[in-house]
Every structure is written in structure tokens, then in C-alpha cells.
Structure 1
């Protein structure tokens, strides 16, 4: 075997090993991110109507989920929950000290304090489900809206209610949250296609500090892309190895 051939084989082996290790880290990160109750907005534009999708990925230490109560920030007045066939849904209301204009000539005298989904049949620990809430976002760009959630199970409960200070490490049981972005231009929402509207909900690409939370409450952007790159490197290494073996046998 020539020295050039030996070098090629060593390079291919190193590439394969590094690629496999990197893929393991990517998948481990995706698993950790999906372990929390999270929220994904259809848009984060201040003053817009949005649909918030809350994800419940597992039970409480192996126990099936029986209910999920999602608290609304004080800035939110009206909420319309989406019907989920496997759950009963209830709005828990709170009286307002001062009535709020509803935008249609009337007034709100109370606000939605919590949305509670109660399982008709407990959700097994190994299964996940989602809940959608439609609401109007406040007008303040840059505002952080936190949605503390309490997940009750057949045995025990998990309070997803912890809020980390800016720059601090993510707590063990983080509360779902979103950060409002710039308001949409007048008429832009009405003229946008569904695809454009969905794309506008994604935050602009920017370098993120290691371990920092995603602006939309712990989404998982980029995992598929990184996994694709790693798998591509592995495939290339395997191709080189096959080529070298072919030369040897010929």
C-alpha cells in the first residue's frame, strides 16, 4: 500500500469519526430542547394576531399527563383556544379593575387569566400533544411575554414556571415565553400569502450565545440543517473509503 493511499484512508476514518460524534451531539441537543413544555408563535410581530402552539412532550417522571394549565400575561385580555378532541378546555377569567376597549365599540370587563386543558384520557408519558391559542399581541416591540404552565399527572406535577434573568443559565423548569418583534407595515399582513406569513414568524438569523434560549421559547431551529451537514460529511467519508477499497481490489 502506497503512503498516499495510507494518508487517504486515515483522513477518511478521521472524517467519519468526527462526523458521527458531531451528529450525536446535535441529536442530544435536540432531545434536551424538546424535553420542556414550549411555545411556538405563528408570528411575533407586535400588535398582530397570532396562534401560539404549546407543546407537551412527555409526562411527569413517567406518569401520564392529566391536565395542563397555561397562565396568560397581564397584557393579554382575550384568548380563543382551539378545540382538541382529546381534552376538555376551560377559560378561567379575572375581573379587570378598569374596563378595556374591545375594538368593536364595546368593552372587556374581565380578562382570560388561564386556559386549562383537562385530558379525557390521560396522555401517556411516551406520547406528546399540542394546544393552540389565538390572541392579539401587545403593541410593545421587544416585550417578553411569559406563559407559566403547570402540568399535572396521575402521579405528581411539573410546574413550568421558572424565569431566568437575562444572561443567566436556563432553569430546570423554564416557563414558555416569546419576545415581540417589530410591528408589521400597514397592510402587509393583509397582502401577504400564507407562506410569507409563516416565514415572517421566524426570527432573523443571528449568532446566539452558547446555551442561550431561543426568542420564541425554546424552539429548535437549525437542528435538521446541522444533522444534514453532518450526514453529508459521513457519506463523503464512506464514499472515499469505498473508492480506495475498489482500487485495492482492482
Structure 2
């Protein structure tokens, strides 16, 4: 009795499936490795993110452009009015103009031996050219003081793009999606807070070389969370390769046994 020949499409169909699963796993791993660091580090932040009460702290406002099609053309940094700063200075940055906005305070506030009725409320950086293009970031150094004796100094930022959109970095809390740049004074910064945890020098009247070096060091620190997520993505891809290879081998063995 003659046996009917196997259907010619049976063998290829068995081998394609593991290959497709492998490609899917590798693609997912690659996307996780690439996208996770971007999502974790693309916030507007300040570094160093700690300062001593009473000091004149120099911090860098780090502004990355998240958009793939538009450039950052303006950054507005809100300063506190309930604990006002009597001194604000900036470092000139090529391609940008800076405005220090000083206004009447909602109520008079005593700072040291002085009573302030007006104070700095906003720092505005405006691009004179193309601004910060996609994939780029710029750091804007600014000195603030004297730092008030508070838990933390919340500095909401507003990022304007060339397409007219505005992103408000003004949220607080552990689950904030658009967290406000924050300088921690008496409160310890969270372990995963961006911007580093170096303290600003407290003995220099208007900032110092040590403070600036600390700011540079903090800005250069790697994003630990981004690295962990990136490695996790690569691991997923490797596991996908192994699973796919095992599937192909088993399929071939099964075809050979048939």
C-alpha cells in the first residue's frame, strides 16, 4: 500500500514560526533598549540638585529637546515668590538672550536683615537662532541666592517649541510625568532623581570654582535608570534569540523524524 506524499508546504511552515518569534523578540528588545533611556532622561532638570541654605548656588538648567520635528526656542524658569531670591545672575550663552523678570511680591518677605517687597520671579531664555534642535540639549548656568532655609526649592519650567507647542515641567511627587526641576535644601533628594546630588558650595558669596566643578560633574553623571532599562532591553533580545534558535532546532528535528 503506497503512502500519500507529505504536503510540500508542511516543512517550511514549521520553520518559519520560530524565526518570526525570534525577529519579534529581538525587535522588542532593541526598541526597549533604545526608547527606555530617552524616556528616562529627557526631562528639564537642574544640576547639582542640592544646595545649602544661605548659600549662593550655581546650577545648570539642562534642557533637552524631546520632539523629533521641532526645536526648543524658549525656556521660562519660575522662581519662588513666598521665599524670594534677592540675587539672580546668569552666564551668557551664544545664540540666546536672557531676561531676568523682577516684579512686586504678593506680600512683603523678610530675607536676612532686609524686607523684600519685590523680587525675581522668572528667568527667560529666548533663542536668537534655531534653538535646541531635535536630539540636542543645552545647559543654562544660573546663580541663585541666598538659598532659602526650606525643604526644597521647586523651579517650574516652561519649554516652548518652534511649532507653537509648550511643555510645562511643573509637577511634583514621585509619580509626576512632567516633574518640575528641584533643588533640595534640607530634604534629601530621591535616589533616582536626575541632576546628581552634589551640594553647592556655601562659603562663596556669588558662586565659586568648586560649585561650578560640582555642577559640571553632576551634569556628566550617567543616568543609572536609563542604563538598567537599556541592559534589560538587550537581555530580552538575547533571550528571544535563544528561544528562537531552540524552536528552529526542534522543528528541524521533528521534520527529520517525520
Instruction: Using structure 1 for the length normalisation, give the TM-score.
Output: 0.57
Residue 176 of structure 2 is matched in structure 1 by 170
Match of 2:91 among 63, 76, 82: 82
User: 1:62 offset after TM fit, Å?
Assistant: 2.1
Residue 62 of structure 2 is matched in structure 1 by 55
Check whether the contact 2:37–2:226 (CA below 8 A) recurs between aligned residues.
no
Check whether the contact 1:63–1:155 (CA below 8 A) recurs between aligned residues.
yes
Change (3 A) 1:98 1:57: same
Check whether the contact 2:149–2:186 (CA below 8 A) recurs between aligned residues.
no
What secondary structure does 2:108 align onto? strand
Q: Aligned residue pairs: how many?
A: 183
User: 1:134 offset after TM fit, Å?
Assistant: 0.3
Check whether the contact 1:80–1:134 (CA below 8 A) recurs between aligned residues.
yes
Residue 37 of structure 2 is matched in structure 1 by 30
User: 1:99 offset after TM fit, Å?
Assistant: 6.1
Residue 104 of structure 2 is matched in structure 1 by 95
2-structure distance, mates of 1:163, 1:37: 12
Change (3 A) 1:119 1:43: same
The question of 1:148 aligning with 2:136 is answered no
User: 1:154 offset after TM fit, Å?
Assistant: 1.6
Change (3 A) 1:117 1:66: same
Residue 240 of structure 1 is matched in structure 2 by none
- Unaligned 5+ segments in structure 1 are 1-20, 203-215, 231-250
Check whether the contact 2:60–2:139 (CA below 8 A) recurs between aligned residues.
yes
Deviation per CA, 1:155-183: give whole Å up to 9, x if none: 1222323424x45x222x22212221379
Check whether the contact 1:68–1:118 (CA below 8 A) recurs between aligned residues.
yes
Comparing both chains, which one has the higher relative contact order based on Cα–Cα distances under 8 Å and sequence gaps of 6 or more? Answer: 2
Check whether the contact 2:52–2:202 (CA below 8 A) recurs between aligned residues.
no
The question of 1:121 aligning with 2:133 is answered no
Residue 180 of structure 1 is matched in structure 2 by 185
1-structure distance, mates of 2:202, 2:31: 40
- Unaligned 5+ segments in structure 2 are 1-27, 189-200, 233-258
1-structure distance, mates of 2:109, 2:41: 39
2-structure distance, mates of 1:45, 1:220: 24
What secondary structure does 1:122 align onto? coil
User: 1:126 offset after TM fit, Å?
Assistant: 2.7
Change (3 A) 1:221 1:61: closer
Larger Rg: 2
Instruction: Using structure 2 for the length normalisation, give the TM-score.
Output: 0.56
Change (3 A) 1:175 1:224: closer
2-structure distance, mates of 1:50, 1:22: 41
User: 1:115 offset after TM fit, Å?
Assistant: 0.4
Change (3 A) 1:134 1:23: farther
Change (3 A) 1:106 1:39: same
Residue 110 of structure 1 is matched in structure 2 by 118
CA RMSD of aligned residues (A): 4.1
**Which deviates the most, 21-30 or 43-52?**
21-30
Change (3 A) 1:179 1:67: same
